[in-house]
Structure 1
Amino acid sequence: MPVAVELTPAQRTADTLEEHRPTQTPARPERSPWRCLRSRSMRWWSTANLFSNLGTWMQLTVQNLLVLQLTGSAAMTGLSLSVQAAPGLLVGLLGGAAVDAWPRKLTAAVSQAVLGTMAFTTAALVSFHMLSVPALMVMAAVTGLVATVDGPATSLLGNDLVPESDVPSAIALGSVVHSVGRLAGTALAGITIAVVGEAGAYVVNGLSFLFVSAVIPFLRPVARERKAAPTPPRGRAADEPRMALREGLAFFMGRRRLVALMVITAVSAVLGRNYALTLATLVTGPLHGGPAAYGVVSTVLAIGGTAGAVLAGRLRRPSVRLVAVLAAAGGLLQMVAGCAPLLLMLLVVVVPMAIVESISDTAATTILQTDPPPHMRGRVLGVWNSVSTGWGLAGPPALGLLIQVAGARGALVAGGLIIAAVIGAGALAHGRLQRVSPAPVREAFATAS
Structure 2
Amino acid sequence: MSSSSALPTSVPGTAPASRSPWRSLRYRSMRWWSAANLLSNAGTWMQLTVQNLLVLHITGSAAATGLSMSVQAAPALFVSLLGGAAVDRWPRKLTVAVSQALLGAVAFTTALLVALDRIDMTALLVLAAVTGVIATVDGPACALLGNDLVPVDDVPSAIGVGALVHSAGRLAGTALAGVTVGFLGTFAAYAANGLSFLFVASVVPFLRPAPGAAEAAPAGPRAVPARTELSVREGLAFFARRPRLVALAGITGISSVFGRNYGLTLAVLVTGPLAGGAGAFGTVSTVLAVGGILGAVLGARLRKPSVRTVGLLAAAGALLQVVAGLSPSLAVLLVLVLPMAVVESVSDTAGTAVLQTDPPPHLRGRVLGVWSSIGTVWSLGGPPLLGLLMEWAGARGALVAGGLLIAGSIGAGLLTRRRGAPVPLTLTAKDGDVTGREALGTAA
- The answer on 1:255 being equivalent to 2:242 is yes
Task: Describe the shift of the 1:67–1:443 C-alpha distance in structure 2 as closer, same or farther (beyond 3 A).
Answer: closer
**Length, aligned pairs only:** 419
1:151 equivalent among 128, 139, 150: 139
- The answer on 1:69 being equivalent to 2:49 is no
Indicate the residue corresponding to 1:406 in structure 2. Answer: 393
Amino acid at match of 2:298: L
Displacement of 1:231 in angstroms is: 3.4
Indicate the residue corresponding to 2:96 in structure 1. Answer: 108
How far apart, CA to CA, are the structure 1 residues paired with 2:185 and 2:328? 44
SS at match of 1:286: coil
Does the CA contact (< 8 Å) of 1:264 and 1:324 recur in 2? yes
How far apart, CA to CA, are the structure 2 residues paired with 1:62 and 1:24? 56
Does the CA contact (< 8 Å) of 2:147 and 2:158 recur in 1? yes
Give matches, 1:183-332, under 5 Å. 183-222=171-210, 224=213, 231=225, 237-239=227-229, 241=230, 244-332=231-319
Displacement of 1:258 in angstroms is: 0.4
Does the CA contact (< 8 Å) of 1:256 and 1:448 recur in 2? no
Measured against aligned partners, the alpha-carbon deviations of 1:92-147 in whole angstroms (never above 9, x if no partner) come to 01000000000000000110011111111111111111111111111111000000
Does the CA contact (< 8 Å) of 1:97 and 1:245 recur in 2? yes
1:91 equivalent among 79, 101, 110: 79
Task: Describe the shift of the 1:142–1:437 C-alpha distance in structure 2 as closer, same or farther (beyond 3 A).
Answer: closer
Indicate the residue corresponding to 1:131 in structure 2. Answer: 119
SS at match of 1:27: coil
SS at match of 1:365: helix
Could you say what the CA RMSD is over the residues aligned between the two structures, in angstroms? 1.9
Displacement of 1:191 in angstroms is: 1.5
Does the CA contact (< 8 Å) of 2:244 and 2:441 recur in 1? no
Does the CA contact (< 8 Å) of 2:104 and 2:198 recur in 1? yes
Does the CA contact (< 8 Å) of 2:160 and 2:297 recur in 1? yes
- The answer on 1:382 being equivalent to 2:377 is no
Indicate the residue corresponding to 2:432 in structure 1. Answer: none
Amino acid at match of 1:417: L
Task: Describe the shift of the 1:219–1:91 C-alpha distance in structure 2 as closer, same or farther (beyond 3 A).
Answer: same
Displacement of 1:445 in angstroms is: 2.8
How far apart, CA to CA, are the structure 2 residues paired with 1:280 and 1:147? 30
Displacement of 1:226 in angstroms is: 5.9
Measured against aligned partners, the alpha-carbon deviations of 1:8-29 in whole angstroms (never above 9, x if no partner) come to xxxxxxxxxxxxxxx9565321
2:440 equivalent among 423, 427, 445: 445
How far apart, CA to CA, are the structure 2 residues paired with 1:127 and 1:49? 27
The unaligned stretches of length 5 or more in structure 1 are 1-22
Amino acid at match of 2:86: A
Measured against aligned partners, the alpha-carbon deviations of 1:290-311 in whole angstroms (never above 9, x if no partner) come to 1111111111111110011011
1:361 equivalent among 340, 345, 348: 348
Task: Describe the shift of the 1:284–1:264 C-alpha distance in structure 2 as closer, same or farther (beyond 3 A).
Answer: same
Q: Greater CA radius of gyration, 1 or 2?
A: 1
Task: Describe the shift of the 1:177–1:438 C-alpha distance in structure 2 as closer, same or farther (beyond 3 A).
Answer: closer
Displacement of 1:248 in angstroms is: 0.7
SS at match of 1:317: coil
How far apart, CA to CA, are the structure 1 residues paired with 2:355 and 2:423? 26
How far apart, CA to CA, are the structure 2 residues paired with 1:260 and 1:229? 30
Task: Describe the shift of the 1:103–1:443 C-alpha distance in structure 2 as closer, same or farther (beyond 3 A).
Answer: closer
Does the CA contact (< 8 Å) of 1:323 and 1:363 recur in 2? yes
Amino acid at match of 1:263: G
Indicate the residue corresponding to 2:41 in structure 1. Answer: 53
Displacement of 1:192 in angstroms is: 1.4
How far apart, CA to CA, are the structure 2 residues paired with 1:353 and 1:305? 9
Displacement of 1:446 in angstroms is: 3.6
SS at match of 2:420: helix
Task: Describe the shift of the 1:444–1:381 C-alpha distance in structure 2 as closer, same or farther (beyond 3 A).
Answer: closer
Does the CA contact (< 8 Å) of 2:308 and 2:443 recur in 1? no
How far apart, CA to CA, are the structure 1 residues paired with 2:439 and 2:36? 41
SS at match of 1:93: helix
Does the CA contact (< 8 Å) of 1:255 and 1:448 recur in 2? no
How far apart, CA to CA, are the structure 2 residues paired with 1:62 and 1:315? 37
Displacement of 1:176 in angstroms is: 0.4
Indicate the residue corresponding to 2:161 in structure 1. Answer: 173
How far apart, CA to CA, are the structure 1 residues paired with 2:139 and 2:424? 41
Displacement of 1:365 in angstroms is: 0.3
Displacement of 1:230 in angstroms is: 5.8
Amino acid at match of 2:331: L
Task: Describe the shift of the 1:114–1:334 C-alpha distance in structure 2 as closer, same or farther (beyond 3 A).
Answer: same
Does the CA contact (< 8 Å) of 1:433 and 1:442 recur in 2? no
